[in-house]
Amino acid sequence: MSKQHIIVDPITRIEGHLRVEAVIDENNIITDAYASSTMFRGIETILKGRDPRDAGLLAMRICGVCTGTHYQRSIEAVEDAFDITIPKNARLVRNLIQGALYIHDHVVHFYHLHGLDWVDLVDALKGDPKKAQEESFKWCKTPYGVSESDLIQVKERLTKFVKQGRLGIFSNAYWGSKAYKLTPEQNLIATAHYLQALDLQRDAAKLMAIFGGKMPHPQSLVVGGVTCVQDIQNPARIAQFKTLLKKFTHFIKTAYLPDLAMAGVKYVDEALDGTGAGLKNFMTYGDFRLDDTGFYNSKLLFPAGVVLNGDLSTLHPFDQSKVAEDVTHSWYTGDKPLHPYDGETNPNYTGLEKKADGFAYIKPDEKYSWIKSPIYDDNRVEVGPLARMVVGVAAGDERITKYVTNFLALLGDKLGLGKPAPTAALFSTVGRTAARAIETELMADVMIEWVDELAANVASGDLSTWTEFDFDKVSKDAKGHGLAEAPRGGLGHWVKIKDGKIENYQAVVPSTWNAAPRDHKNRMGAYEAALIGTKVADVNQPIEILKTVHSFDPCIACAVHIVDTKGKELSKFKVNTSCSI
């Protein structure tokens, strides 16, 4: 049997650096795959010996995108250790900041990081603006920003890029690939929304800054509550938040969702045959507290739980004590899976294998990634929007089930099925992308309820934003965890505190769960499993690999280590744990 080896390095349009190696057979079917992060994270080491009240400000530097999520998880880990319940206003403000991150992140992901896997931008030049406008009404009664004159301007702008021989942000893609399925007019509609989303995403950033203080590194969260006291007491600030939210929600409902439905119909075969399904094991920590009963007791917008083997009839309860990390195929020392409270981060880089053709390949039987391999109750699992929708449906959550059902009904209608598209279609690369859009609409709608709840609570005279605690008393010997959901999936921070200082700290991030290498039982991570069975139309343009990996919204910036494209080590850095900032 003839086999070829494909290396995609780096995977572009993601945060950080990721390498994928795939083996394909004589029919261009992927039979084996390996995901390798070539970057190292050392924040846990830096945090040792620090004041736990400062951990959030340092931990947010783990990422350049989900900064606020790491910030909040870290603070919540300390609050859990100190047994602190924050006031209602603080809970609602945190929900609004995190919710704004969700809708911002998901829209940017679909159009600017993932959309060009579905949309052939160069083919859009063939699109007729008048026909494209007519096409847009097939997907939405009031389509966003795609009048004939709008589309003529987009086409002229795009033509200038191409004639100058430089596509700028659109360069280095597989334009013309046989894997693209949208018509020229559909490509023109999506391209117009790509450009409009670039402008509109600033409104979502403003939403986070109103209560967060600044972006991308908010400053208003502290152990015990929030500090944006003047902002929540100012009706003009709350009204500004609501106005921007409504404006962004309009784009979500009249551009993002219709475009997703349009793509879903064109690529429906890939959804129905399960291309990119992967593990079919899903886990969520749960997130967005809806009442004030305290950590891990309150009702949640996204329920916690585990679904195994795609079986929606059984929801397994989540138990944080069953989380462990394995380093058998990761560049760290260690000989057994460890719970994060006892986790270790001791680098042991063993390098890549050198080949005669000048390229370095990974050593699949040895260590091949800086990412550890998380395991839940002896299962490899996927996290992210699809996991949240799947667990929500399995939990019987009425709100999540309604949004999922509405989208499947829309897709079924556009396909002319006479009934909703099957739920099983979600178990695919297309379904993973659709789940993110479904979640975006849900989040935008529920944020209106939260901002109204905040305004009403403040108007009632409740101005509390912080819960007092005796640091010397609660920090002698404590441990806690901050477990919730980043836009990309379950994010957990675990902290052990001794005599007022951090004794041990571990973060298990969404891309750790999804991008992990094989574990001690040689079981694949989520990216690797999702690629198996995928047919590559052209081995010189393996867009199918990008499409499936991008559907997870990879974010590898949780680590920093640099090698060149030949595997050559460029430099070494030593972290001085005694330094102060």
Please give the positions annotated as active site.
Answer: 15, 63, 66, 70, 488, 511, 555, 558
Residue-wise burial string across 544-565, b where 16 or more C-beta atoms lie within 10 A, e elsewhere: bbbbbbbbbbbbbbbbbbebee
* CA torsion, ordered 495, 496, 502, 506, to nearest 10 deg: -40
Q: Omega into 385 within 30° of 0, i.e. cis?
A: no
Alpha helices, H only, 319-428? 385-394, 398-415
Residue 484: enclosing H or E segment and its boundaries?
Answer: strand 477-486
Please tell me the distance from the alpha carbon of residue 568 to that of residue 354, in angstroms, as a whole number: 10
Per DSSP, the three-state class of 24 is strand
Helix (H) or strand (E) holding 206: helix 184-212
Side chain identity at residue 461, one-letter code: G
- CB neighbours of residue 355 within 10 Å: 11
96: which 2 tokens? 């609004």
Please state whether the peptide bond connecting residue 52 to the residue before it is cis, i.e. omega within 30 degrees of 0. no
The two tokens of residue 398 are: 């009425």
Kindly tell me the number of DSSP H helices and DSSP E strands found in the chain.
Answer: 18, 16
Token reading at 240: 């500004």
333: amino acid identity, one letter: T
Neighbouring CB atoms inside 10 A of 392's CB total: 27
- SS3 of 328, please? coil
Task: Report residue 456 CA to chain centroid gap.
Answer: 32
